[in-house]
Amino acid sequence: MSTNNNNTKIFLVLNSGSSSEKFSLYEGEDEVCSLYFEGIEKGGEKKFICTITRADGTDEVVDKNWETLDVAFKEAKAIFEKEGFINAAHPLDGILVRVVAAGKYFSQNHIVDEQTFKELEKVRVTNPLHVPGTERGIKNATATFPDVPVMVMSDSEALTRDSRRDMAYALPAEIVDEFDLGRWGAHGASYGYMMGRIPELGILEKKMIVCHLGSGCSVTALVDGQPAYTSMGETPLEGLMSSTRTGSIDPTIGALLGEKLGAAEAIKLMNKQSGLLAMAGSNDMREIIAGAEEDREDAAAAFDLFIDGVAGKIGEFAAKMGGVDAIVFTATIGERSIPVRNAIMAKLEFAGFKVRSDVKLDKSKGYANIAEEGSKPVYIIPTNEAAYMIKKAAELIDNH
């Protein structure tokens, strides 16, 4: 393992999509530069371009096109070296690949070895959308940076603790064992960050519910700061409807879609072509809200179903815990959308919650309590998934 001169580790965080690669370079917990490779149509052909975003927020599109995404790693290495972010004096300490694939193995973080690829093949059947990108990212990372440890960072590690009360499915044991099934959950890096951040801020309550509302949405209940219940399951498809996911639906529908389209295409439809997008033609909550305000029936129906889903899940978890002492909103929608928060909390006044719309986040404080006087607390806390993954990656390297 190499460490740079000032003992601050340098990590490259990889996010591999089906037709994109994002590279985020961190010194400690500070992002210093990111590169985003994406496909565009040019002259009737698909080309790939790269956008550089620096720490000061400035963007620059690289004056170059590529025929294939496979070049992204080699080009990223060259760009980072040219920009002076990595060199002999400041080498990479590790490459982090986020993994949403489920199963016992992937409920923990690992430095990649032969076993990692065997385990990815096992979970390909339940995660056909995510595994190919993960495999591509790992292989390209190890080929481009052969001396740098590559780590698979579990998206369920923070959630798969002994405190969880809802891990099991009511299925025959032989089926559970064959497919390594469990309600592993996802958004674990966000919830892991929250589990550390809430006590740091001095606002820990016995029974708390955290709502991670972004492009993907989930809810997790914490008892004494540890996860008790979470809304996502074997995959992120279970639970709440979100921008392009159905959320929980009658399993018979999934079976019928699988018979009609094949399992992989059915899973793709339910993950990528459903949710807000299917109901109202947009996966952007801001457009849904604007459409609802213009009395568009499809947008209003999508908004109402979304709000009912989140409020209903909070109510479910409150019942399971025997009450709730505080609610937290995080992620893009949770942190920024006043209409969404107001609509959810209006349904929870019976439980002792009432919020104000005029409270802004004080960044120096790190959180805001948007509750009215006399209400139980309702917090906005910005999440930082990269910070949590980097902390866990540093522990992984130090303990290796």
DSSP-based three-state secondary structure for 13: strand
Q: What is the DSSP letter of 364?
A: T
The structure tokens listed for 214 are: 């972004």
Q: Which helix (H) or strand (E) holds 326?
A: strand 326-330
Residue 58 CB: number of other CB atoms within 10 A?
8
DSSP-based three-state secondary structure for 373: coil
How far apart are alpha carbons 361 and 307 in whole angstroms? 22
**Rounded to whole angstroms, what are the CA distances from 254 to 240, 268, 313, 364?**
16, 11, 22, 46
The structure tokens listed for 95 are: 């490459």
DSSP-based three-state secondary structure for 212: strand
Among 70, 113, 147, 155, the active-site one is 155
Q: Which helix (H) or strand (E) holds 46?
A: strand 45-54
β-bridge mates for residue 23, sequence order:
14, 35
Determine whether 250 is an active site residue: no
How far apart are alpha carbons 232 and 350 in whole angstroms? 26
Residue at token pair 């409920």: 107
How far apart are alpha carbons 26 and 31 in whole angstroms? 4
How far apart are alpha carbons 216 and 110 in whole angstroms? 25
Tell me the catalytic residues: 155
